[in-house]
Every structure is written in structure tokens, then in C-alpha cells.
Chains A and B, each alone.
Chain A
Amino acid sequence: MTTHEVHHAYEVEEDLPEAPIADESSDTIHTASWRTFRPVILLEKCTKCNVCWKFCPDDAIEFDGEGYPVIRLDYCKGCAICAEECKPKAITMVKEEE
């Protein structure tokens, strides 16, 4: 279910649950549109230490089949904490195109 569909299911007070409970995953809400800098991972420097994943405040890092981190760009807000914490300096922040 997309965000758009959720809003159409609930139009007036009577449609809403009594408590603000949602049964679809928050993954449906993309929260990264205002990012200014995006993290880019240089795989040749990455040691798969997972420190970036550990420090990401928004669960915006997952792993590929080989164990390398992948930025989930629908959720990453570009805070650069991963780049700051990355010991081998494998993450650089690149300005988004206008």
C-alpha cells in the first residue's frame, strides 16, 4: 500500500482507528527528499566492518550478498554520520544534483 492509498482510505474522523495505529510498514513513507549530500561508498576501501550500519540513526544502510553496505537512498537524509565514523574513510559525501 502506498502513502497515497493510505490517505485515500482515511478521509474523515470516523474512518480512523481510535489510537494512531498504522498497520502498513513505515517503509512506504519515503523520507529522504530533502537530502543535500549523499553518501557514496568506495568498495575498494570498505572492510565490511559494519560500523556505518551501527551508527546510522535511520536504519538507512543494508548489506548486499557479499556483505558490503548499501545506502537505502529512499530513507538516507545525508547526515554524514556514517562518513564521519568510517575508519578506512570509504564513505564520501557527494552533493546532490540540483
Chain B
Amino acid sequence: MVELVISGNYAQSYAAKLARVQVVSAYPITPQTSIVEKIAEFVASGELPAQYIKVESEHSAMQACISASALGARTYTATSSQGLLLMHELLHWASGARTPVVMGVVNRAVAPPWSIWTDHGDTISQRDTGWITFYGESNQEVLDTTLMAFRLAEHPDVRLPVMVTEDAFYLSHTVEPVDIPTQAQVDEFLPPRDLQFTLQPGTPTRLGSFVGPDLYMEFRHKIARAMERSRRVFLEIEEDYRRITGRSHGGLLPTYRTEGADTVLITMGTATTTAKGVVEELRERGKKVGLAKLRAFRPFPVEELRELASTVDRIGILDRSFTFGAAGSAYTEVAGALYPTPHRPLLRDFVAGLGGRDITPLTIHEIFTELLAGKGGEVTWTGLKTRKEVA
């Protein structure tokens, strides 16, 4: 094992190399990132014997990955913001065709107005595409989760594409020490793909062709079941990763200081680290607060959340995106998951950090103050600049 000081983007690149990806396809211009640039260097230097396909758009990049994946290649691509939006149609294709493509995404705000900073609006917009989706908190977690993503995507009980996202700049361009597992460790963890479920040259078949109203629902239900199975499979995979590398990141909904907590804040991505410090401070002052991180947004950690909620009085949700005409997406998901349970804590949605506005310890303190008081509206835009008293 080697420790390198690398960005979140390079953490993705190193993970793809260690996974021995065979086909990488990417559109090289804005909003592309250094993820695929580093992979291009690996391929050019011969360190990674992969086929690198440069295409004319993100839409084509995803199509190239889907086609290669259908034939059994381990495939990878990366994008962010508008590029991810342009892929949208093909994201549905990847899950519908059951191709285990893995993609790194840098979470960035969607234009207009133009922005390049952190916001979950781009990835949340892909919620219903059938992709398993993770939000990373550190560069180490991004590298480890990307390696797990390949095994999860290719697992015979799953066979769904996986997206590993990281917050723009806070991870994508910030360097941190990252333990790089050895190739032998990764090879033990991640064997080559099982070609049993791929298209075979010499046996003509059609993938994703026409189906009538008599059977479309049944194909969708297969995806629904695979997504459900992915919960168990992911936990097994993470346990195996821990056995080999000594690291685990706590499953689908990792918690922090939730023992005896009556108030819990739910976060996604890098805001989690900031919130941990605030939770620590508040605990020292005797406040019974804790934290839970939505590491996976799909599958949504319903059971983990219900167990957590069964013993707390108040849950705040920190949303780094907003669904116009409703509320933050994490909030509506949490509310939906908890409504059928007998114990329903007070829920409050805090929309903050859009378009890369910093979520500082002060922001988190403000959120906890409101949450602990149990006052205010259902949805609050924390830190909104306005002349009105309440945002």
C-alpha cells in the first residue's frame, strides 16, 4: 500500500486504473474534469492497457460505454453538471440494458446562471434513471467506493450501473492523503467480469429492443428487484473490502454520535465533515445531537433510516439542491420513508450551499439552533440573502 497526496479526481482515476478498466470513453471538453485526463495519461504511458475512445459528446461517451459493457468490457467514464444532463437519455439505457457501467461524477451546479461550483442538482436530476448512486465525503472514500462500485455493478444479483459522485473543488480539486491499495489487493477484491451475462460474438441477439405493454412492466420490476438486492450485496462487498484493505465507510447510511441523540442532522457529501465538528462542539455543551450521512441516495437507505428515526425526536435534512414546487430531494425522500412508520419525528428541510456557497460551521450551528428549537417553516433556505426576516 502506498499513500499519495491526490485530488478527488485523481482518486477516481487511480481507482479506475486499479480496477483494470478495459474501455474508457469520454468527451474531453468542458465540463470534463481531470479524472479522464489522468486516465488518458495512464493509457498513453502503457500503465493501463485500456481502449480510450474520445467522442463528440457525453451522450456518445455513455453510449460507447454501454455498448462495450454489453460485450463484457469493464467500462468507465466521468462527467459533471451539463455533461451529465446531456447523458440523461443514455443513463436510462445503461440501467435498462443492465450494463454495469461505472461513472465518476463531480457534483456541480446546473446553468443558467453559469456556475462551476458544488451543488447536487446535477446528480439529483438523475435520481430516477436506475443508477446506484453514492455521494463521497473524502478522497479516500471516493477511491474506495469506486472500487466497490465495479464489483457491485457487475454482481450477478445486481447488474446495474453505478455513479460515484464527489463535490466540486472541496474534493475534486483539493488534495488529501489517500491510501492506494496494491494491485494484488484490488485483484483479490475485484476479479475480471463474468462473461456469462454478456452478448457473445457469433450468437446474434438484440439488446434493448421492442417490447409491448404485455411485458414492459415485468422488465421494470426486474430492475426494481435488482436495486433492492443491491443493498445486501453492497454491505457484503464493503465487508470484503474491509477484510482486504482494512477500510470500510459504514454502509449506506453511516452515522456519527447518534448514541442517545434526540436530534439528528442528515447530510450528503462534504458538508458531513463540517457538520461532524459542529456535532462534536454541541455534544460538549450537552446537546444530544448526532449526524447521519446519505452515502447512498439510490438505493435509498430506508431501513437504516427507519431504525435511526425510531429513537429520535427531530431530524433536519441538509439539501444541497432543490426540487422546484416541492422541497429538497433528500427531505422528500426522508419524509416518504418515515411516513409509514409508527414513530414520526419532527422533520425540517434546510436548503443550503447551492452553487458552491460555503457551508461553514456557522451554517451548521444555525441549522441546529432552529432544529433544536423546533420552530420555523418546513423548508428553510439557510443563508439566503434577503431583506425579509425569514427566508
**A residues within 8 Å of B by Cβ?**
7, 10, 12-13, 16, 18-23, 25-26, 29
Nearest-neighbour CB distance to chain A for B201, whole angstroms, equals 14
What chain B residues lie within 8 Å of A18 (beta carbons)?
Answer: 98, 159, 197, 222, 226
Do the beta carbons of B209 and A26 come within 8 Å of each other? Answer: yes
Q: How far is the CA of A59 from the CA of B159 in the complex (A)?
A: 32
Total interface residues on B, CB under 8 Å, equals 23
**Cβ contact within 8 Å between B209 and A20:** yes
| B217 to chain A: closest residue by CB | A13
Tell me if B218 and A7 are in contact (CB < 8 A): no
Output the least CB separation between A4 and chain B (Å). Answer: 12
CB-based A-B contact count at 8 angstroms: 47
Nearest CB on B from A21, distance (A): 5
Whether B206 lies near A19 (C-beta < 8 A) is: no
Question: Which residue in chain A gives the minimum CB-CB distance to B199?
Answer: A21
Query: Do A21 and B159 touch (CB < 8 A)?
Result: no
Interchain CB contact (< 8 A) of B207 among A13, A16, A21: A21
Distance from A65 Cβ to chain B, minimum over Cβ atoms (Å): 25
User: Would A10 and B210 count as touching, CB distance under 8 A?
Assistant: no
With A20-B97, A21-B206 known as contacts, the answer to whether A10 contacts B215 (CB < 8 A) is: yes
Q: Scan residues 193-209 of chain B and give those whose CB is less than 8 A from a CB of chain A.
A: 197, 199, 203-209
In the docked arrangement, what's the CA distance between A22 and B208, Å? 8
- Distance, CA A19 to CA B199, complexed state (A): 11
Cβ A12 vs Cβ B205 within 8 A: no
**Residues of B that sit less than 8 Å from A by CB:** 96-98, 159, 197, 199, 203-212, 214-215, 218-219, 221-222, 226
What residues of chain B lie closer than 8 Å to A20, measured between beta carbons? Answer: 96-98, 207-209, 211, 219
Minimum C-beta distance from A18 to chain B (A): 6
Contacts of A25 in B (CB 8 A): 204, 206
B132 CB to nearest chain A CB (Å): 16
A22 engages B96 (CB within 8 Å):
no
CB distance from A91 to the nearest CB of B (A): 28
Asked whether B206 lies within 8 Å of A22 as measured between CB atoms, the reply is yes
**How far in angstroms is the closest Cβ of chain A from B305?**
28
Given contacts A7-B212, A26-B209, A19 and B218 within 8 Å (CB-CB):
no
Roughly how many angstroms separate A7 CA and B212 CA in the complex, as a whole number? 9
A16 to B226, CA, bound (A): 14
Given contacts A7-B212, A29-B210, contact A21 B218 (CB under 8 A): no
Q: Is the CB of B206 within 8 A of A26?
A: yes
B209 touches A16 (CB 8 A): no
A16-B218 contact given A7-B212, A22-B209, CB 8 Å threshold = yes
Given A19-B98, A19-B197, A13:B205 Cβ within 8 A: no
**Known: A7-B212, A7-B214, A10-B215. Is A16-B222 also a contact (CB below 8 A)?**
yes
Q: Which residues of B contact A7 (CB under 8 A)?
A: 212, 214-215
Q: Are A16 and B97 in contact (CB under 8 A)?
A: no
Given A10, A22, A29, which contacts B205 in the complex, CB threshold below 8 Å? Answer: A22
B197 contact set on A, CB distance < 8 A: 18-19
Residue contact A19 to B159, C-beta cutoff 8 Å = yes
**Which residues from B are CB-within-8-Å of A29?**
210
A16 and B205 contacting across the interface, CB-CB below 8 Å: no
Instruction: Specify which chain A residues have a CB less than 8 angstroms from the CB of B205 in the assembled complex.
Output: 21-23
Cα–Cα, bound, A18→B218 (Å): 10
**B66–chain A nearest beta-carbon distance, Å:** 11
A89 to B96 CA separation, bound complex (whole angstroms): 43
B97 touches which of A13, A19, A22 (Cβ 8 Å): A19
Smallest CB gap from A14: residue in B: B218
Give chain A residues whose Cβ lies under 8 Å from the Cβ of B212. Answer: 7
Which B residues touch A19, using CB under 8 A? 97-98, 159, 197, 207
7 sample A-B contacts, Cβ–Cβ < 8 Å, listed by A number: A7-B214, A10-B215, A19-B97, A20-B208, A25-B204, A26-B206, A26-B209
CA distance A22 to B205 in the complex (A): 6
Which residues in B have their C-beta under 8 angstroms from that of A12? 218
